[in-house]
Amino acid sequence: MAAMVGSNVNFRCHLEAGSKNVSEINLYWYMPGVLENDAWIFYPGVSSQLTSIFKKNSSFQTNPNHKTDMSLTVTNVSLFHTGTYVCYTSLRINQNKTQRSGNGTSLLVYEQINISTSNSNLICSTRVKEVENVILAWECDGESCGTSKSGFHQKKQRLFWISNPLDMGANKCPDQQNVTAVCLLHYMGHSLMNKSIQVPCPSTKGPLTDSQTIHLYGWIFGAVLILLLLIILILVWSLRKQKLKNTEIETAVYTNVPSNARFGILKPSCKG
């Protein structure tokens, strides 16, 4: 059995006395303790070991007017209510005392599924008290994708965060379409709940993420810097070329001076 935090849970227990001469019925509900043959009673009273587990905002209700229905309803369950619940009765039949016990019912309490994004990954996570037989799995458009393995991170008081990342870049999907990714919480082979999210295919043009925006600005800045360097190199080359041209012109002017010219005043030649 599994239930979400804050819901109500009904544990069924049906007594078959087998005789109409039942003069006394005492009902107990307990959880097996850590040690063998150790029982922690939580109904009708709460054992000291369980006082911190069962919060005051939870209540336990039975049907005392019914001689065969020993079912128990627990309201507003929390993660700490995870465990095995056993029904136990003490009977007096024809002045003889006898005891009867149920096989026990296992309860897993879980929180809502949360989906977050990290770069190209989708992170599915939830919190539980026990991790045995608890799996987070991914489906993409109705087909299994990613991995069915989950990572566990233990917190205080034996609470665990379980998570499963999905790399959307590694999944094939139709061009120009969104893919529906669904995270499913499984317990003992049964699906408890799921949460879906629509994400664009890797080939689909969608809004840029922060990482993509930073890369785009980086490319633009690099292109502008390279363009400025090319302009500077062209200007330097042009200036050097112009200077070299001016030098050649000046050299040509002095080279073409007449042979009888002297620096200073030219002496004219006169014919008689």
Q: Which domains does the chain carry?
A: 2-108 (2.60.40.10), 112-200 (2.60.40.10)
pLDDT of residue 179: 80
Contacts of 5 (CB under 8 A, 6+ apart): 77, 78, 79, 109, 110, 111, 112
pLDDT of residue 109: 92
Indicate if the pLDDT at residue 20 is higher than 80: no
DSSP lists the bridge partners of residue 90 as: 26, 99
Model confidence at 135, pLDDT cuts 50, 70, 90, reads confident
pLDDT of residue 204: 45
Contacts of 8 (CB under 8 A, 6+ apart): 73, 74, 75, 76, 77
Which of 234 and 33 is assigned the larger pLDDT?
A: 234
Q: Where are the alpha helices (DSSP H) in the chain?
A: 210-255
Residues 145 and 197 sit within 8 Å (Cβ to Cβ): no
pLDDT of residue 15: 79
pLDDT above 90 coverage of the chain, percent: 8
Query: What token pair was written down for 44?
Result: 């009708």
- Strands 2-4, 105-110: parallel, antiparallel or unpaired by DSSP? parallel
User: Range with the lowest mean pLDDT among 10-24, 65-79, 97-111?
Assistant: 10-24
Query: What token pair was written down for 208?
Result: 């840029």
Model confidence at 254, pLDDT cuts 50, 70, 90, reads low
Average pLDDT over residues 146-167: 73
pLDDT of residue 4: 93
Report the candidate in 40, 45, 130 with the shortest Cα–Cα distance to residue 79.
130
pLDDT above 70 coverage of the chain, percent: 72
Indicate if the pLDDT at residue 47 is higher than 90: no
Average pLDDT, rounded, for the chain: 77
pLDDT of residue 190: 86
DSSP lists the bridge partners of residue 101 as: 88
pLDDT of residue 7: 93
Query: Rounded to 10 degrees, what is the CA torsion of 118, 157, 7, 162?
Result: 30
Average pLDDT over residues 25-44: 77
Report the candidate in 9, 11, 12, 14 with the shortest Cα–Cα distance to residue 69.
14
pLDDT tens digit sequence for 82-131 = 888 998 888 777 777 777 788 889 999 999 999 888 777 888 889 888 88
pTM: 0.63
Model confidence at 272, pLDDT cuts 50, 70, 90, reads very low
Indicate if the pLDDT at residue 81 is higher than 70: yes
Maximum alpha-carbon separation in the chain? 175
Q: 3-state DSSP call for residue 71?
A: coil
* Alpha-carbon gap, residue 54 to 38, rounded angstroms: 18
pLDDT tens digit sequence for 178-224 = 788 899 998 888 888 899 888 776 654 555 556 667 777 788 888 88
- 54 burial level (CB within 10 Å; 0-12, 13-18, 19+): buried
